[in-house]
């Protein structure tokens, strides 16, 4: 059986204290003032030694890679064991804690480290890893992973218009991307596009390039206004004849298994949503229980009314289920296994819907207060919605699950 | 320099409004509340860590031993101290109910006699009992000098001589104390320049903080492997019984929580005087 260990609880207490001291008082600025989240995230990584620890681990693995012993990544060896389970738990605790107050922070951090550094670690050459990964791990540099386009969302590869054309030793890149997390501030961008050899679009190879901020022809838009997740800046990228050398082509080969690589990325992205949803649901439940005990109507606390009790009970059920999903991931890491794409999709679908339902019910339970920005459930409710959209919409998760059932 | 830091676990003071009183009114029940390190103890531990390190290079130059008296699961509080940077821990098993300041001081006396620290640094009070007694009792039993409510500590010879500033209602008093000594600290000990040990450069400023340092992930992992010795009052040869017994407890009256907006300072004064009757 898995339970949070004494050590896990200690980490949780420390991270919670940091968030309550450093992030909660800045809520106004982060939520309504366009303040980017990176300074406070950097401080968090530095305070707990997370960035430096990851960087040291990565550099050690990179030295090994140079000697021809394995490939450098931050992923567990795949052998499992208690240390791997512990490492996974320690990865999830800060996600849960951050999501209690600011799911946007997790998105900004996850995209920079998990997706951007993750993609370079997975597919890059040794030289590319050495060049781009270490500063991403400490958030000294901010990363973005650019796949979505105005005309390509769920059908990411099929409708993709961005192109790379061969040009001498290098390539010329064109296209526009949208809904790119960290896009407005990113220093390092993984840009996914199709190799245009004059062949039909559906036959084109998928390539990824690593771009730096300020390259001629690359424009990063200011943050887009959006419904929620305000702590995570989202923007557009425009590329017009951006010239790059082969050293920026991820893996330095045109024969990348890019589609399967993106799928691995989707699995990782979806896996993280259970922990995010747990944070949102935990907080909504905590606030709701408190409110139900203290809000008096018709001469008694509203928690004494059965309709309110039903809401609280359903929230608790969601919390238990989500915690079990998180524990399942810890257990799998201990066994040296990962979720399959279909399992990750099922978990993500449930987690996103549970978070949305709970947050909406929390707003309802708070009544007029719930609709006011002053009460935090209003923000969590707006933030939760994105979980049903990004990392694959609910509808895409359904088709992924069905495809694996009917295969 | 070796410093002994006694730490106590208390019911989370941030949730003090959730404290309940048992049916017969003779006991405070803290069921369902999380345990935390007594904040004053956390701050004294921070002071002890600053005294035994080079703050600039973050390297340890002395030893901090944390000791807690309580039930077995108080070891979690000790681990928290170890995660912050203390080297060793001692758990003296005991039942919270059978402890008062006198018993605690007698147990600590035995630990000090065994450990021979250069200093004992502890919080000036706990936020549950609030009796402010243990430091003074302990110094008396040891025959050591005591400096209470310290807001700054300066030493350059491993605690053999100490310059301590104490905060009083009438101002600040500066003391020179010969070690070994007992020091109880106030929250001001967290000031970026409050602790100087002759190793950390004098112009080095610790970050502004309202609490002790955060344990790093590495620190938390390392704490698991640091030694924690378990003992008991009986094993230490202390058979004192508490001399204070609590007769009854009463919760403060519930607050009405109503808010009134006023137009001017004059109106505020008038309301405070005539309606709230607090002026």
Q: Which residues of B touch A53 (CB under 8 A)?
A: 217-218
Mean pLDDT of chain B: 90
| Model pLDDT, residue A77 | 57
CA angle, corner A86, sides to A386 and A351, nearest 5? 20
More confident residue, A265 or A165: A165
Give the least confident one: A168-172, A309-313, B5-9, B215-219. B215-219
Regarding whether A326 and A227 lie in a shared domain, the answer is no
The total number of structural domains in chain B stands at 1
What average pLDDT does the segment A90-98 reach? 94
Please give, rounded to a whole number of angstroms, the shortest distance from the CA of A246 to a CA of chain B: 39
| Model pLDDT, residue B257 | 65
A48 vs B: CB within 8 A: yes
Regarding whether A276 and A250 lie in a shared domain, the answer is no
Regarding whether A149 and A137 lie in a shared domain, the answer is no
Residue of A nearest to B84 (CA): A14
Among the candidates A123, A141, A159, a domain finishes at: A141
Say if A115 falls within a structural domain: yes
Task: Point out the residue among A7, A14, A47 whose CB comes nearest to the CB of B224.
Answer: A7
Regarding whether A166 and A86 lie in a shared domain, the answer is no
* pLDDT at residue A274 is higher than 60: yes
Say if A1 falls within a structural domain: no
| Model pLDDT, residue B103 | 93
Regarding whether A301 and A239 lie in a shared domain, the answer is no
Say if A266 falls within a structural domain: no
Say if B72 falls within a structural domain: yes
Q: Which residues of B touch A90 (CB under 8 A)?
A: 217
* pLDDT at residue A18 is higher than 90: yes
Q: How confident is the model at residue A213 (pLDDT cuts 50, 70, 90)?
A: very high
Do B211 and A21 lie within an 8 Å CB cutoff? yes
| Catalytic option among A65, A97, A269, A361 | A269
Do A17 and B214 lie within an 8 Å CB cutoff? yes
Helices (H), ranges, chain B = 39-51, 75-84, 101-115, 134-142, 217-223, 265-274
Say if A263 falls within a structural domain: no
Give the least confident one: A153-167, B16-30, B217-231. B16-30
| Model pLDDT, residue A298 | 96
CATH number at residue B68: 3.40.50.620
Do A10 and B216 lie within an 8 Å CB cutoff? no
Tokens encoding A277: 């949803």
Do A7 and B218 lie within an 8 Å CB cutoff? no
Say if B159 falls within a structural domain: yes
Do A47 and B76 lie within an 8 Å CB cutoff? no
What average pLDDT does the segment B228-255 reach? 86
Give the least confident one: A201-215, A229-243, B76-90, B250-264. B250-264
Mean pLDDT of chain A: 93
Say if B188 falls within a structural domain: yes
Say if B279 falls within a structural domain: no
Domain, as residue range, for B205? 2-274
CATH number at residue A397: 1.20.140.10
Residue of B nearest to A8 (CA): B220
A300 vs B: CB within 8 A: no
- Over residues A152-202, the pLDDT tens digits come to 988 888 899 999 999 999 999 999 999 999 999 999 999 999 999 999 988
Do A10 and B224 lie within an 8 Å CB cutoff? no
| Model pLDDT, residue B245 | 83
Task: Point out the residue among A6, A11, A13 whose CB comes nearest to the CB of B217.
Answer: A11
What average pLDDT does the segment B192-205 reach? 94
* pLDDT at residue B258 is higher than 80: no
Q: How confident is the model at residue A82 (pLDDT cuts 50, 70, 90)?
A: confident
Domain, as residue range, for A157? 145-256
Q: Provide residues of B within 8 Å CB-CB of chain A.
A: 34, 36, 76, 79-80, 83, 210-211, 214-221, 223-224
Do B220 and A7 lie within an 8 Å CB cutoff? yes
Say if A336 falls within a structural domain: yes
Place of tokens 């017994």: B245
Do B217 and A17 lie within an 8 Å CB cutoff? no
Please give, rounded to a whole number of angstroms, the shortest distance from the CA of A6 to a CA of chain B: 7
* pLDDT at residue A76 is higher than 60: no
Q: Which residues of A touch B219 (CB under 8 A)?
A: 49
Please give, rounded to a whole number of angstroms, the shortest distance from the CA of A389 to a CA of chain B: 33
Residues 81-100 of A with CB under 8 A from B: 90
Do A11 and B76 lie within an 8 Å CB cutoff? no
- Over residues B74-122, the pLDDT tens digits come to 999 999 999 999 999 999 998 888 888 999 999 999 999 999 999 999 9
Q: The pTM is what? A: 0.86
* pLDDT at residue A210 is higher than 80: yes
Do A21 and B210 lie within an 8 Å CB cutoff? yes
A7 vs B: CB within 8 A: yes
Regarding whether A94 and A23 lie in a shared domain, the answer is yes
Burial of B241 per CB tally in 10 Å (0-12, 13-18, 19+)? exposed
Among the candidates A229, A256, A283, a domain finishes at: A256
| Model pLDDT, residue B247 | 86
CATH number at residue A132: 1.10.540.10
Q: Which residues of B touch A6 (CB under 8 A)?
A: 76, 79
Percentage of chain B beyond pLDDT 90 is 64
Please give, rounded to a whole number of angstroms, the shortest distance from the CA of A271 to a CA of chain B: 23
Regarding whether A131 and A27 lie in a shared domain, the answer is yes
Residue of B nearest to A50 (CA): B217
What value of ipTM does the predicted structure carry?
A: 0.76
A47 vs B: CB within 8 A: yes
Q: How confident is the model at residue A34 (pLDDT cuts 50, 70, 90)?
A: confident
Task: Point out the residue among A6, A9, A53 whose CB comes nearest to the CB of B217.
Answer: A53
Establish, for the pair of chains A and B, how many residue pairs have beta carbons separated by less than 8 Å.
42
- Over residues A350-403, the pLDDT tens digits come to 999 999 999 999 999 999 999 999 999 999 999 999 999 998 999 999 999 999
Do B216 and A21 lie within an 8 Å CB cutoff? no
Please give, rounded to a whole number of angstroms, the shortest distance from the CA of A351 to a CA of chain B: 27
Say if A267 falls within a structural domain: no
Do A53 and B83 lie within an 8 Å CB cutoff? no
A260 vs B: CB within 8 A: no
Place of tokens 């090994």: A64
Q: How far apart are CA B16 and CA B39, in angstroms?
A: 13
Among the candidates A141, A165, A185, a domain finishes at: A141
Regarding whether A160 and A84 lie in a shared domain, the answer is no
A11 vs B: CB within 8 A: yes
Residue of B nearest to A13 (CA): B36
Regarding whether A160 and A85 lie in a shared domain, the answer is no
Residue A304 is a catalytic residue: no
Please give, rounded to a whole number of angstroms, the shortest distance from the CA of B18 to a CA of chain A: 11
* pLDDT at residue A258 is higher than 80: no
CATH number at residue A213: 2.40.110.10
Regarding whether A164 and A133 lie in a shared domain, the answer is no
Do A17 and B76 lie within an 8 Å CB cutoff? no
Say if B153 falls within a structural domain: yes
The total number of structural domains in chain A stands at 3
Say if B251 falls within a structural domain: yes
Residue of B nearest to A90 (CA): B217
């Amino acid at each position: 059986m898995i339970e949070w260990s004494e050590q896990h609880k200690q980490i949780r207490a420390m991270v919670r204290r940091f968030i309550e001291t450093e992030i909660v008082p800045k809520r106004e600025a982060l939520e309504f003032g366009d303040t980017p989240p990176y300074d406070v995230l950097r401080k968090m990584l530095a305070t707990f030694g997370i960035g430096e620890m990851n960087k040291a681990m990565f550099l050690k693995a990179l030295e090994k890679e140079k000697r021809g012993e394995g490939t450098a990544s931050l992923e567990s060896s795949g052998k499992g064991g208690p240390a791997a389970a512990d490492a996974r738990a320690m990865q999830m605790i800060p996600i849960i804690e951050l999501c209690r107050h600011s799911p946007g922070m997790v998105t900004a951090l996850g995209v920079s480290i998990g997706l951007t550094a993750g993609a370079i670690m997975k597919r890059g050459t040794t030289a590319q890893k050495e060049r781009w990964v270490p500063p991403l791990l400490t958030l000294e540099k901010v990363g973005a992973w650019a796949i979505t386009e105005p005309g390509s969302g769920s059908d990411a590869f099929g409708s993709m218009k961005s192109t790379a054309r061969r040009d001498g030793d290098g390539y010329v890149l064109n296209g526009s991307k949208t809904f790119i997390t960290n896009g407005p501030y990113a220093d390092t961008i993984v840009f996914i596009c199709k190799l245009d050899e004059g062949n039909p679009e559906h036959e084109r190879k998928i390539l990824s390039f690593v771009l730096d901020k300020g390259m001629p022809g690359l424009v990063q838009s200011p943050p887009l206004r959006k419904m929620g997740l305000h702590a995570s800046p989202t923007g557009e990228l425009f590329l017009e004849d951006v010239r790059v050398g082969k050293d920026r082509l991820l893996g330095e080969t045109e024969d990348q298994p890019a589609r399967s690589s993106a799928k691995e990325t989707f699995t990782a992205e979806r896996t993280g949503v259970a922990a995010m949803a747990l944070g949102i649901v935990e907080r909504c439940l905590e606030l709701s229980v408190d409110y139900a005990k203290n809000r008096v109507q018709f001469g008694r606390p509203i928690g004494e009314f059965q309709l309110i009790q039903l809401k609280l009970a359903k929230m608790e059920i969601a919390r238990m289920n989500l915690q079990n999903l998180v524990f399942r991931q810890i257990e799998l890491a201990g066994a040296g296994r990962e979720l399959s794409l279909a399992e990750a999709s099922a978990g993500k679908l449930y987690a996103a819907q549970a978070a949305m339902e709970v947050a909406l019910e929390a707003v309802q339970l708070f009544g007029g207060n719930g609709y006011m920005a002053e009460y935090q459930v209003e923000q969590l409710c707006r933030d939760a919605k994105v979980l049903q959209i990004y990392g694959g919409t609910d509808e895409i998760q359904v088709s992924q699950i069905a495809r694996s059932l009917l295969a | 320099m070796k410093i002994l830091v006694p730490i106590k676990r208390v019911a989370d003071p941030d949730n003090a409004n959730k404290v309940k009183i048992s049916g017969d009114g003779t006991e405070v029940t803290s069921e369902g509340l999380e345990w935390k390190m007594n904040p004053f103890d956390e701050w004294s531990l921070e002071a002890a860590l600053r005294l035994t390190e080079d703050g600039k290079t973050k390297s340890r130059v002395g030893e901090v031993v944390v000791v807690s008296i309580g039930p077995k699961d108080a070891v979690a509080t000790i681990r928290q101290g170890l995660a912050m940077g203390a080297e060793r821990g001692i758990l003296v098993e005991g039942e919270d109910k059978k402890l008062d300041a006198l018993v605690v001081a007698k147990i600590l006396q035995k630990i000090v006699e065994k450990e021979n620290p250069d200093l004992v640094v502890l919080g000036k009070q706990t936020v549950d009992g609030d009796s402010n007694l243990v430091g003074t009792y302990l110094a008396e039993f040891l025959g050591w000098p005591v400096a209470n409510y310290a807001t700054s500590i300066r030493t350059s010879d491993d605690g053999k001589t100490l310059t301590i500033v104490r905060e009083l209602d009438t101002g600040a008093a500066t003391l020179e104390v010969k070690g070994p000594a007992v020091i109880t600290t106030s929250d001001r000990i967290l000031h970026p320049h409050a602790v100087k040990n002759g190793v950390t450069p004098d112009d080095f400023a610790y970050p502004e903080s309202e609490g002790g340092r955060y344990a790093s992930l590495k620190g938390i992992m390392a704490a698991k492997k640091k030694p924690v010795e378990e003992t008991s009052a009986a094993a230490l040869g202390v058979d004192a019984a508490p001399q204070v017994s609590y007769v009854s407890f009463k919760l403060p009256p519930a607050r009405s929580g109503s808010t009134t907006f006023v137009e001017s300072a004059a109106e505020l004064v008038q309301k405070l005087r005539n309606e709230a009757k607090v002026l």
